[in-house]
Structure 1
Amino acid sequence: MLALAKVSLLVAALGHFVESHPPTHYSPWLRPRVEAHPCDGISGRNSSWHAQAEKVGVVVVGGGVAGLTTAKTLVDNSISDVLLLEAQDYLGGRVRTYRQEGVVVEEGAEWIHGGWRNPVYRIAVAIDGVDTPLPDEAFDWRVVTHEGVPTDKTRYEVVETLRDVCERSDDVLLAYYGLAYGQCFLDKFEGEYGPGYDSELGEGWLHYLEQIVNGEEGTESWLDIAAREADKYPDLGYDFQWKSGYDTLFQYYEASIPASKIKLNSPVCRILWDEGDDQVLVVTQSGTSYLASHVVVTASFGHLKERHTNIFEPPLPESFSKHFGHLDLGVSNKIQLGWTEPWWGSKPLDLDIIWTSQDVPLDRLWLYDIVNVASVHSAPNVLQMFVMGKDSKNMENLPKETVLEHVMYLLKRVTQQDVPEPDFFHRTSWYNNPWTRGAYETYITLWGDHQGLKGHDPITVPLKNSQGRQVVFWAGEHTHSTRYGTVDGALQTGEREGYRLLDLLRPGKNA
């Protein structure tokens, strides 16, 4: 890492570069492993799609929490002419619980952020699904360097203090509007850490802080997200967890939405939204087509950003599509390893890693972004680690056996223990998934802020066809102005669009 004295120069140079070099799409060395998209092979003609199309009142594109909530809101209010099309073979989108021989882990969303103010918490309580995380004192908390040497735990107070200042304090970020969110932490680190802030250990703690923030924001770098954007995000309080997996949530949806209203393995590849007949033509990968009065698009922002020029005909209005370049969907992957017995001891492990150098073989440099190893709440014999951003994407392109080898190397080095081969190993690949192209939150970049995008509202405006009729609607975490990146944010946007449609579909309205 750079000494803090050099960081300010780097940030200034970066700001100048960003102003003169708008971000391109995907960097070549970070492209998804599979270049060909499943929709590229779709064949057919508009006339044939029209001729064979099944008529549907409302088509919901995407079976994540936003799409399910939209469908449930409509069905609960006696709108039965609804069809939900999900690209993958499961419901939930970026909420996915993975089960293998009694082991239960989460590939995506894991926590319920906050209590009664969070609608997901209220649902979890109603279906007896909520559990409470263990208190801090229940864990075996260790703080070590990347070489396994125990280090001063009191330095963690620097991390918490800076998070209190830059994340939770009122009005502090106002001074950073127009700057990157990470600049707040960089400016205040020296004063909080004190002497030694520019030592190897001090810079190791700064790196740890950056990775914690990146993990919370889903960013590759805390210099990517605009401070104005981060300042909008409300903290709803304590984080709760599920007793038996996040997919317990889907009991709530299954109770309302008939199975006949849902089609899995039905990727939507084309949406022809201004055909002149006041209908929207929706075409799936298999060539199956639907003529709908209204379409609600809840697909992952990463997928939309990559594919919107291929999906929508005519192209999205420039006033809308230009904002796609001003937002990014972050990537945060998980690696999970399990054993029959916990070799680390009887208590759940919470191991923080302070990297005082990048002293690892070049092919293993992606490990540098792993700063915590912790026991999984629902699987106490499983350890989990997060990998963010660029290194997360690089990890996805490594063979599974190589990832396991590298992670075992890291565990042995940081614990200085004899780590046995695991019985369970799982890693996620959210970036290489063509239907997600990322995970966690969609945020306004610093570039986007400089270009005038101050909120998510511009990408929530329904599309009107040439007759002036609202035909395409938008939901998903990326369309929530303050709770982007959360399950509760996705849920609320699904309700928002469901009720918007209900208002249009009432007798006498111009639907």
Structure 2
Amino acid sequence: MELTLLLCVIGVVVADSPKHYDTIVVGLGSAGVTAASTLARAGRRVLGIEAQGRVGGRVYTVPFGDGVVELGGEWVLGTKNSPTYAAAQQHNISIIPQEWNILTYYSDGTAADSKLISHFSELADESFNEGPEPPEAQGNFTTRKIMEDITKNRPDLLKDQDFISGLLTFIELMVDNLEGSNDWNEVTTGGDYEDLEGPQSLSFHRHGYKTFFDIMLNTYKGGPGLPNLDIKLNTEVKVIRSPQHPTEKVIVECSDGSTYVADNVIVTVSLGVLKAKKSSLFSPPLPKDKQTAIDKISMGVLDKVVLAFDEPWWTQNVSRLLFIWKEADKNKVPVSDLWTTKILGASRPMGSSNTLTLWISGNTAKEVEALPEDTVKAKCVELLQKFVGDTLKITVPQPNAILRTTWYSNPHTRGSYTFDNTLTPDYPDARDWLASPILDSAETPRILFAGEATNRRHFGTVHGASETGYREAKRLLPDIAK
């Protein structure tokens, strides 16, 4: 009787003991998948824990229209030393450059001088690379560069203050869409971002950006996956307990009551999640410099509203429609609809032929996330009619479907990507602080950090996130081939 009871107790203990892994990766976006797959391919036993019901993080390919659309990362930005581009090339997957055939319209339905608008847009792009000393707010610097150009080369435009006002507002929206910022004066001219060499708007088109993750996880074209990698989806990590003693394990406790242990953990959640949970997610609390980095780096928001139509109604060789508001027209917009004046324009996704994507950034994006879907759809159709429909002498048809992103209100992302704000020159090493691992008493890395926010040069990109996943895997595999 006593032996039977003892065996039952032993059975319960064994059944309840959490499985041990070499490494647990928290978050399975680009950084997490790269780290997990690199370690698993090297023979390490890896568990990937993802709070959402899918792999990909802020890359999200969805069937829509007559193909697929990207609700998150849309383009491969550069080719040289790009892990995303290299993965496609190694598997003979075509990556197609998006041709930017752009038409720009005013809110009264008239076509703008696209060549002139393009000139000022290029001038704004150039201002990102000039880096004045001391650094200043991007909006102030870009405004000055544009006004200097107008005064010197186009003085007749000084008489048209409505044009200048609309132009500057339009350029600000371009900057905000690029950065995910609320205001272009939140962005610094003293940022550290660097482009990769090569074309900047390459698309996985109908393959979908998800293909990158299929390749990394060895599931492309029905691949069997990676035998050393376990994946838990729909599993939210509640707390990560970091030991000081070298013989103790890292403990990961999840909201569903499950617990996992490992020699080390790589945390790849977004900066937005770290901002929301830094006080509760880690035990003991994070070091002061890491908390400072989380506080000082900005998390931007860029949302999309994607509309599908029965068939394309726009000129087929146009890939982007841009909108510039005239002050008189903007003044007629009801306060409840002012968010529509902050939509930069619409673009044609390369993964489907009968869809348009409208782009919204910053606080406006947060506002739109909270609006009813029918309202968003109706107002977007009105916007397209106002700017384009009258010029083309057509009635913009009703969409047959709508998708929209909620990157800010999603508790597992809390934003889209990071940008260098005006505090960056005062905290130039903040991203490095965020990237530094937490060590035990033997100075062995126990909690490691990856994700685009930890990349000083390539933040805000899929390839930049992947680079950090590889960086942290390499930290755990010092003999890995470079």
TM-score by length of 1: 0.83
Q: Which amino acid aligns with 2:347?
A: A
- Give the match for residue 246 of structure 1: 209
Name the counterpart of 2:50.
Answer: 86
CA contact (8 A) 1:97 1:106 kept: yes
1:110 alignment partner in structure 2: 74
Alignment match, 1:387: 360
Report the aligned-residue RMSD: 2.3
Q: 1:259 to 1:395 in 2, by over 3 A?
A: farther
Candidates 439, 458, 469, aligned match of 1:483? 458
Q: Which residue of 2 aligns with 1:236?
A: 197
Distance 1:349 1:225 in 2: 28
- Residue 29 of structure 2 aligns to which amino acid in structure 1? G
Partner of residue 110 from structure 2, selected from 139, 149, 173: 149
Residue equivalent to 1:214:
176
Q: Can you list the C-alpha shifts for 1:310-355, whole angstroms capped at 9, x where unaligned? A: 1111110112211111101100000111112112244345211111
Q: String of CA shifts for 1:390-436, please: whole Å, max 9, x gaps.
A: 10000000011111111111111111231111112111100010010
Corresponding residue of 1:14: none
Shift of 1:153: 2.1
Cα distance 1:375–1:157, how it changes in 2: closer, same or farther (>3 A)?
A: closer
Q: Structure 1 residues 216-225 or 320-329, which shifts more?
A: 216-225
Measured after TM superposition, the shift of residue 495 of structure 1 is: 0.6
What's 2:293 paired with?
Answer: 323
Q: Partner letter of residue 358 of structure 2?
A: M
Deviation at 1:201, TM superposition (A): 1.4
Superposed, 1:393-404 pairs within 5 Å as 393-404=366-377
**Percent sequence identity over aligned pairs:** 31
Match of 2:138 among 156, 163, 181: 181
1:127 Cα offset (Å) = 2.1
The CA distance in 2 between the partners of 1:257 and 1:474, in whole Å, is 23
Tell me which structure has the larger Cα radius of gyration: 2
Partner residue, 1:44? none
1:191 aligns with one of 148, 151, 158: 148
Equivalent in the alignment of 2:231: 262
Indicate the residue corresponding to 1:18 in structure 2. none
Which of 246, 249, 259 pairs up with 1:289?
Answer: 259
Task: Check the 8 A contact 1:176/1:183 in 2, yes or no.
Answer: no
CA contact (8 A) 1:193 1:202 kept: no
- Partner SS for 1:426: strand
Q: C-alpha displacement at 1:202, in angstroms?
A: 1.2
Superposition map of 1:33-432 within 5 A: 52-79=17-44, 81-100=45-64, 102-136=66-100, 139=101, 141-168=102-129, 172-177=130-135, 179-194=136-151, 195=155, 196-197=157-158, 199-229=161-191, 231-238=192-199, 239-243=201-205, 244-255=207-218, 257-258=226-227, 261-274=230-243, 278-357=248-327, 358-359=330-331, 360-415=333-388, 416=390, 417-432=394-409
Q: CA deviation at 1:437?
A: 0.3
Q: State the match for 1:29 in structure 2.
A: none
2:343 and 2:359 in contact (8 A); partners too: yes
What pairs up with 1:460-471 in 2 under 5 angstroms? 460-471=435-446
Measured in 2, the distance between the counterparts of 1:187 and 1:345 equals 35
What SS is found at the alignment partner of 2:190? helix
| Cα distance in 2 between the residues matched to 1:200 and 1:257 | 59
Q: CA deviation at 1:128?
A: 2.8
Name the aligned partner's letter for residue 111 of structure 1. W
- Aligned partner of 2:222 in structure 1 is none
Aligned equivalents of 1:349 and 1:493: distance in 2? Answer: 32
| 8 Å CA contact 2:293, 2:434 repeated in 1 | yes
Do the aligned residues in 2 keep the contact of 1:131 with 1:240 (CA within 8 Å)?
Answer: yes
Name stretches of at least 5 consecutive residues in structure 2 with no aligned partner.
1-12, 219-224
Distance 2:173 2:324 in 1: 11
The alpha carbon displacement at 1:235 in A equals 4.6
Q: Secondary structure at the match of 1:250?
A: helix
The alpha-carbon deviation at position 448 of structure 1 amounts to 4.5
Task: Give, as a single letter, the amino acid of the residue that structure 2 aligns with 1:163.
Answer: A
Aligned-pair CA distance for 1:278: 2.4
- Report the counterpart of residue 415 of structure 2 in structure 1: 438
Alpha-carbon distance, 1:106 to partner:
0.4
Q: Which amino acid aligns with 2:210?
A: D
Amino acid at match of 2:472: E
Rounded Cα–Cα distance in structure 2 between residues aligned with 1:97 and 1:499:
29
Which amino acid in structure 2 is aligned with residue 483 of structure 1?
Answer: H
- Is residue 180–residue 362 contact of structure 2 (8 Å, CA) maintained in 1? yes
1:223 is paired with a residue whose SS is helix
Q: Which sections of structure 1, spanning at least 5 residues, go unmatched?
A: 1-47, 506-511
Question: Could you tell me whether the CA contact under 8 Å between 1:173 and 1:184 is conserved in 2?
Answer: no
Q: Counterparts of 1:126 and 1:301 in 2: how far apart (Å)?
A: 31
The within-5 A match list for 1:484-499 is 484-499=459-474
What secondary structure sits across from 1:111 in the alignment? coil
Counterpart residue identity of residue 268, structure 2: T
**3-state SS of 1:112 partner:** coil
CA–CA distance in structure 2, aligned partners of residues 148 and 55 of structure 1:
63
Q: Residue 415 of structure 2 aligns to a residue in which SS?
A: coil
Aligned length: 447
Deviation at 1:268, TM superposition (A): 0.9
Letter in 2 for 1:245: G
Q: Structure 1 CA distance, aligned partners of 2:292 and 2:55?
A: 30
Q: CA distance change for structure 1 residues 302 and 400 in 2, over 3 Å: closer, same or farther?
A: same
In 2, Cα distance between equivalents of 1:228 and 1:257: 42
